[in-house]
A = this chain, B = another copy of it.
Amino acid sequence: MQETRLDTARIQAARQMIDPIFRNTPLYRCEALKPDLGCAVSIKLETANPVRSFKARGTELVASLLDGNGSRAVVCASAGNLGQALAWSGRGRGLDVTVVASRFAPAAKLDRIRALDAKLELVDGDFDMARERAAAIARADGIRLVEDSLDIETCEGAATIGLELVETAPPFDAVLIALGGGALATGVGHVMKALAPDVEVICVQPLGAPAMTRSWRQRRVVTTDSTDTIADGVAGRCPIPAVLDDLLLVADDAVLVQESSIIAGMRMLLDHAGLVVEPSAALGIAAILEDRDRFAGRHVVTIVCGSNVDVDAYHRWVGAAPTRTP
């Protein structure tokens, strides 16, 4: 294939720089999902770790490299999970971590960023406004700016999930990946195309935050004026050109799903897998729900990428007394 910015050998080597607590995560068939979905579903669970998302795979690389070159401060914009992960990775290495986030981000995410000793600055706007503010801080203070999905460590950290999939999963037909900025999708997608090219790489984004999917379809950056989705972790308006270029090389498809399907997916993961997940982590199930015929009889891996969710909002979405499937 044409080359992405990612490098498979570097991804292999990266594993040694990531705390083992974030690696070799559970991967297992969840048979209880099959009757409702019509296909075999395996879960790659990225939430059973100290930051409850996959993002620390990338921040471990960032922080290791900064620590190695003597840097002592770092700043990032975050929808919440990257900031929490960078705070965790930075704290362990004595780095001063500043996180810029939207004041509308889930309280669960903001609380944890503060609890991990990071400096948290809130902007009165969305994630893309936080990106601008983080860049300004980096310029003013002369410190490293971590840009999610653009910085290669964030993509190659996420890509280590792909290595685990190809090494330990029984043969599977497709992988469903939440699509936001693109680090997870380009990371896992790169590894699939390099090492398991028969696996279909399907990115999933909410209809209410479709910028990257539209960009992928039109093969050029398409921005949107706003986002409207509960899937806060993937709600961006301004795709990064270099990330889109990579995504064009590794994604076989990018699909958009409705909010109601995301909620139905969250509820299925609760009812049939016993998992509380944040909306972004239910995108894969939502994609199956919206196109059962496409997946019928196949074996699909979905990456459960985060579980940082406000419990009260979760109950509001998923409902207090889900009906059981007989």
What are 24 A-B residue pairs whose CB atoms fall within 8 Å in the complex? A20-B168, A21-B26, A21-B28, A24-B24, A26-B26, A26-B48, A28-B50, A29-B50, A30-B50, A32-B115, A107-B324, A108-B324, A270-B276, A270-B311, A274-B276, A310-B324, A311-B322, A312-B321, A312-B322, A312-B324, A315-B320, A315-B321, A315-B322, A320-B321
**A45 interface residue (CB < 8 Å to B):** yes
What residue in chain B is nearest A316 (Cβ atoms)?
A: B321
Whether the pair A25, B28 counts as a contact (CB closer than 8 A) is: no
For residues 7 through 31 of chain A, which have their beta carbon under 8 Å from a beta carbon of chain B? 20-21, 24-31
Residues of chain B within 8 A of A116, CB atoms compared: 31
For residues 41 through 79 of chain A, which have their beta carbon under 8 Å from a beta carbon of chain B? 43, 45, 47-50, 52
A146 CB → nearest B CB, Å: 22
Give Cα distance in the complex from A13 to B295, angstroms: 40
Residues of chain B within 8 A of A321, CB atoms compared: 312, 315-316, 320
A13 CB → nearest B CB, Å: 22
Residues of chain B within 8 A of A320, CB atoms compared: 315, 320-321
What residue in chain B is nearest A276 (Cβ atoms)?
A: B274
Whether the pair A49, B26 counts as a contact (CB closer than 8 A) is: yes
Bitwise interface map of A from 113 to 124 toward B, beta carbon under 8 Å scored 1, else 0: 001100000000
**A205 interface residue (CB < 8 Å to B):** no
**A308 interface residue (CB < 8 Å to B):** yes
**A138 interface residue (CB < 8 Å to B):** no
**A190 interface residue (CB < 8 Å to B):** no
Residues of chain B within 8 A of A308, CB atoms compared: 274
**A89 interface residue (CB < 8 Å to B):** no
For residues 80 through 125 of chain A, which have their beta carbon under 8 Å from a beta carbon of chain B? 107-108, 112, 115-116
**A222 interface residue (CB < 8 Å to B):** no
For residues 128 through 175 of chain A, which have their beta carbon under 8 Å from a beta carbon of chain B? 168
A202 CB → nearest B CB, Å: 23
A53 CB → nearest B CB, Å: 10
